[in-house]
Structure 1
Amino acid sequence: MTLASSPVGRRERNKQQKLDRIMDAARELFAQYGVDEVTTQQIAEKADIGAGTLFLYAKTKGELLLLVQNDAYAAALDQGTQDAAAESGVVEAVLALIRPIVECNRAQVDNGRTYLREMVFGDPDEPRHREALDIVAKTEEVVATTLQRAGGIEEIRAAASARIVSAVMFLSMAASVNVDSSVDEIIQQIAQQLRVLLPPSTEGRG
């Protein structure tokens, strides 16, 4: 490493360390109190940085929530992708895929619902919102692949059906009527709709 590159490396490391502290602080406070009850000042103090520094990484509390939740949702999707691979029935495979996402969303219900609102209504050009939308797109891609593999559904129809599955899942998690619903209850609701969407002849096909 040259002397000229050393300061850049240190700056990047310092930025990453601050970002890690911000994420840890936001994650802990949001989990403990809920996003609506936490202020950006509390997060800055817990991360041991100034409020001005915090705003360099996230300008709003919604962006901070996205910063934390995007990682969690991406990990849940990875887990669901692995779980779905072990299922041969198309409905079972899709349910295995989305269960970790529902579990992630319901870990703190108010946070999960706020995250979905930020995802849908936030500025798509803002990096954290764009990352959230990328997760939605990746979810639809994985659902479509699962429908093709487990259900023998053609590519074009699988892609269209995947968008419907994604909409059903996110609406089920966001709906006010489901605020008190458990993960199993939401999965059951989604399963009922999947069985209407997916022809019976596709279930159980390899």
Structure 2
Amino acid sequence: MGGGHMPIGRRERAKQDKRERIMAAARELFAEHGVDRVTTQQVARGADVAIGTLYLYASTKAELLIMVQNEKFAAAVDSGLAAANATTGQGALEPVIALIRPVVQYVREHLENGRTYLRELVFGDPAEPCRQAGLTLAGRVEDGITGLLTRNEGIGAVEAATLARVITAIIHISTTATAFVHRSDEAVFADIREQIHATLAPHIRAA
């Protein structure tokens, strides 16, 4: 008998097809109208599935949003890590900025959806599978920043991890706070850059 993967059964193919249709409908509706103006019934109609079927894949609209946004967040994290790893000999600040730039751009691509997504990750049930996946992605950002900071001889692993947590808090507040909603992307990013520079400056000088 030949090797390779076992073929997917008809039932599993049907489940995958329904999930893909639900994701596609949710992605389109959230992008066009924003999460607050979309109902799960609308998503079910767009996916051509019964509302009860939709709830088998996501029990709330928040979970639907997280499922959709996790895909975009993952792509932003991958892009940021690749950009950061390509920066060498530029001190501590520039690699961190390279890592977080795609993440900030992703959150602000659709402000309502991005802000709601981050709030749901932080304040929602961490045991829910979609949130677990999103929190894992957030952990990749924090771990990536930690790794970049430990390239500096004067910054130890424990200190780098603490600084990474501070930096991720800066990103979260700057991209979700209502006071910053009407600022341009570049203004928000410039402010984030200044805050990170101020956070790292004493440690860079010590290094």
Question: Same fold, TM exceeding 0.5?
Answer: yes
Q: Tell me, which stretches of 5 or more residues in structure 1 are unaligned? A: none
Amino acid of the structure 2 residue aligned with 1:99: R
Shift of 1:160: 0.9
2:194: which partner in 1?
Answer: 192
Secondary structure in structure 2 of the residue aligned to 1:59: coil
Question: Paired residue for 2:147, among 142, 145, 148?
Answer: 145
Q: Aligned residue for 1:73? A: 73
Q: CA deviation at 1:182?
A: 2.3
**1:12 & 1:143 partners in 2: Cα distance?**
39
Q: TM-score, normalised by structure 2?
A: 0.90
1:112 counterpart residue number: 114
Aligned residues of 1:95 and 1:187 also touching (Cα < 8 A): no
Which residue matches 2:57?
Answer: 57
For 1:32 and 1:95, locate their aligned partners in 2 and report how far apart those are by CA, in whole Å.
30
Distance 2:128 2:203 in 1: 43
How many pairs were matched up? 199
Aligned partner letter, 2:63 = E
Detail structure 1 runs of 4+ shifted over 4 Å in the superposition: none
Q: Could you tell which deviates more after superposition, 21-30 or 80-89?
A: 80-89
CA distance in 2, matches of 1:36, 1:45: 17
RMSD: 1.8
Deviation digits for residues 92-148 of structure 1, max 9, x if unmatched? 111110110111111110111111111111111111111111111111101101112
Following TM superposition, by how much is the alpha carbon of 1:86 offset from its aligned partner in structure 2, in angstroms?
A: 2.5
- The CA distance in 2 between the partners of 1:53 and 1:124, in whole Å, is 24
Partner-residue secondary structure (3-state), 2:150: helix
Determine the structure 2 residue equivalent to 1:43.
Answer: 43
Report the alpha carbon displacement of residue 9 of structure 1 after superposing the two structures with TM. 2.1
Query: 1:164: how far off?
Result: 0.7
Match of 1:100 in 2: 102
In structure 2, list runs of 5 or more residues that go unmatched. none
Letter of the 1:12 counterpart: E
Instruction: Tell me which amino acid in the other structure corresponds to 1:145.
Output: G
What is residue 175 of structure 1 aligned with on the other side?
A: 177
1:28-54 CA-to-partner distances (Å, cap 9, x unmatched) read 100000000111111011111110000
The share of aligned pairs that are identical, in percent, is 47
Is the contact between residue 85 and residue 93 of structure 1 (CA under 8 Å) also seen in structure 2?
Answer: yes
CA distance in 1, matches of 2:117, 2:79: 20
Matched, 1:126 2:128: yes
Name the counterpart of 1:16. 16
Give the TM-score taking structure 1 as reference length.
0.91
* More relative contact order, 1 or 2 (CA 8 Å, 6+ apart): 1
Counterpart amino acid of 2:118?
A: L
